[in-house]
Amino acid sequence: MRNGSVQHRPFFKVLVANRGEIALRVMRSARKLGLGVIAVYSDADRDALHVREADQAVRIGEALPAQSYLNVPAIIEAAKASGADAVHPGYGFLAENEAFARACKDAGLVFIGPSPQAIEAMGNKAGAKEIMKKAGVPIVPGYQGAEQGDEVMFAEAGKIGFPVMIKAVAGGGGRGMRLVTDAASFPEALRSARSEAKAAFGDAAVILERAIQNPRHIEIQVFGDRHGNAIHLGERDCSVQRRHQKLIEEAPSPAVTPELRAKMGEVAVSAVKALRYEGAGTLEFLLDQSGAFYFMEMNTRLQVEHPVTEAITGLDLVELQLRVARGDPLPVKQQDIRFSGHAIEVRLCSEDAAQDFMPQSGRMARWQVPEGIRVEHALQPGSEIPPFYDSMIAKVISHGANREEARGRLIVGLEQLTAFGVTTNQAFLLSCLRHPGFAKGEATTAFIGTHRDELLAPRAGAAFERALAGLLLYVTSPRAPWWQGGRSLAATFPLPARIEIAGHAHALDIMRERDGSYTVIADGCQEKFEIDQLDPDAVRFRHAGVMDSAKFLRDGERLYVQHRGIPLGLTDLTLAAPKAAASNGGDGKVRAAMNGRVVAVLVKPGDRVTAGQPVLTLEAMKMEHVHKAAIDGVVSAIHVSEGEQVTTGRIVAEIGAGSATNAVS
């Protein structure tokens, strides 16, 4: 499976067939080697940072991935039009697409990655398992057959025994993956996994695996070259996940001993040599509590979490990819690899953790990254977060002499990062990093599921933060006197206010005291503040004898506040009419929770439904989201059809009282 048939030759201009932070990351290393860089973009990314930072940029289609970043002919034509002689696929999209690698080769372009044959062999989960099984690598019991009929899949799931995992054959990143705990929920989970896999990878085929309870997710970074050399760069622990997608990654793993690392590394290198593999790759394993490990899949590309390996090895993995692709031997041997300290990465995502990690899109009104810590991103104030692509918008990476130092630096870095305008998982990431289980290095893939209530629980200072936010809303309001400081001899009266935070309304009373301080009563708690300095974007204040500060952004009736790394977005409802109680669906209207595409309509007019019953499914940021009925009743109208793009808040279905005309199975 060597790239022996590929003409290795120098290349001078690299087209990056991707977007966002990974496009900029590849460009950085390419330029370090003196290479020109070319970006591609969809209509949604016309003004994106990766487009402006490239030497050249070529439009490849409309916003949806199938019309742009998954459009092989358009990307090949872009390479020809711009004079590129090599293509780097990044990760996601076409990075593990054998047809794309072959199309690059046929067009005379150097594909910066393994051969089409290697991608085909290892990018397909079923085929990879068979290869590894023959090589003596332990694999998880399951079904990888070509027969994909519903009845066959259901029967095979029964043979394996529940719980089982459904996994997309053609991809990774948690797309097309479902954990099924019982036979009754298998048919819908299978349909949903196929739909998501088809949308993300263009292939609806899936495999089944026995679900191993509470494992660690451990992966080994490998590299091979055309000269037969192969090395591993140690492991990464990617156990902290939501929706089967990694959220926190670290190297080395707290659970891997030097002996286990050597054993797993030896297995991985043996596989690379057997495949005669070229370029960067990752072998992923499940590690159970007894220390046994099972091969899951091989990613024939660069990984999102590669920066933690770079941090502990001092190597530039993208540079290694580029050198191997032009035919150079690997510049390091296994005995040269040294591991230094500990590194942790978190994925900052535009999602609402409190709403089942619902993807969020919109405009990033303010974006500031901390100094002294690595942040991979492609954002700036005013950047649009489109609803069509992955929800990950940045990666924050820390490195320390040991794990606790790395964890502390990452917490401080996240506290200093500012992302106003779009809801992110910033606060949730901080909760994870501070959790005692994570601090002790005990997190398995069940970490978020087990501790979800704790991780999402209201913080001890939540009432104080609401009071501070309410005060800032008042003192920055164009309808209220601007803060003047100093003392006032005038009589003061409580000023009532209403604010909305995360969909919940809160009543406040704000009083300006004679000494110039403020008293805020929020949710029954009384807080006193002295404002020392009020700038356009930050405030310094005294509270309970402590000088403190917070960042904020006023955007009309909307205010964003961040105190000690915890962002709040609130709306002034003081002069607004009360919201209808039915806006949450209590009026029988099912509203789109995000901008997205309708992938399944699960009921029809006349069907009787019960509260909590799935009505339709939207796909946004590569993930499916089921919308459910809020009340019992009969479906009176469906206002959308499969394939249609809808906007947040649009009424997609209506449920009312009446007699059912269709039976619901």
* 3-state secondary structure string across 455-496: HHCCCCCHHHHHHHHHHHHHHCCCCCCCCCCCCCCCCCCCEE
Residues tagged active-site: 301
Asked if residue 529 lies in contact with residue 542, where contact means CB atoms within 8 angstroms, the answer is yes
Radius of gyration, alpha carbons of the chain: 27
Asked if residue 190 lies in contact with residue 206, where contact means CB atoms within 8 angstroms, the answer is yes
Q: How far is CA 234 from CA 219, 224, 252, 283, 312, in A?
A: 8, 14, 7, 11, 9
**Is the alpha carbon torsion for 608, 638, 197, 450 positive or negative?**
negative
What is the separation of C-alpha 162 from the centre of its chain, rounded to a whole number of angstroms? 28
CA distance linking residue 33 with residue 13, whole number of Å: 11
Asked if residue 217 lies in contact with residue 445, where contact means CB atoms within 8 angstroms, the answer is yes
Q: Which residue has the tokens 């709040």?
A: 568
Q: Which two tokens stand for residue 363?
A: 């405009």
| Residues linked to residue 614 through DSSP beta bridges, in sequence order | 628
CA distance linking residue 152 with residue 29, whole number of Å: 47
Other beta carbons less than 10 A from residue 578's beta carbon: 8
- Omega prior to 386 cis, within 30 of 0: no
Asked if residue 307 lies in contact with residue 395, where contact means CB atoms within 8 angstroms, the answer is yes
Q: How far is CA 477 from CA 534, 556, 558, in A?
A: 13, 9, 10
Provide the residue count of the chain. Answer: 665
Nearest Cα neighbor of 125 from 94, 92, 160, 170 is 170
Nearest Cα neighbor of 144 from 155, 154, 153 is 153
Assign 295 to helix, strand or coil. strand
Assign 340 to helix, strand or coil. coil
CA distance linking residue 508 with residue 477, whole number of Å: 15
**Helical segments of 612-653, H only:** none
